[in-house]
Structure 1
């Protein structure tokens, strides 16, 4: 078997996989449309929406299903939580407030560390 035959088979394999994926996606979209249509029909029967709203609902759901999924690599890396600084008008905080604030900061830091550990363990 020559290199040309191998390349040709690889191309055919790629086309076949793409075709199969397209067929499966079409089947899933059709199944989704049927299920959403049933749900919309039930809601119309109960008077929760009009037939026009039901039609729009079904179309919107099918259109959302047909849109490409968001890039999962971006979703896997959530941004760090934004930092919030609490500013008060008090000149000097009393000792009780300072100790409570310090304790809360310590708890937040422990929770952040626990969250990082859980994320590491999940990977």
Structure 2
């Protein structure tokens, strides 16, 4: 199937599909005229990539996890698991930072609210 067909079947933009190829996450074959073609298996691959991206993984993290999918084995599974745990820890840290920032903003809003009420009253 051609790239536009894959995009329609997966709900992923053509631009994203090209990006996945640039990152080595997806491969295609080329016709004599240079057009990309994909297999039916690539539909599942793209859907998996979307799930991994939606889980917050970066393309480099996904590239580290994919060997577990492509050639399952104990070593690949352990590496994938370790990478996902590390990504989750980074996410937890980022969430903590965001919560701290939100709390600081809430304090500023409260101070501003009291100041505005004092001016109005």
Q: So what's the TM-score if we normalise by structure 1?
A: 0.33
Larger radius of gyration: 1
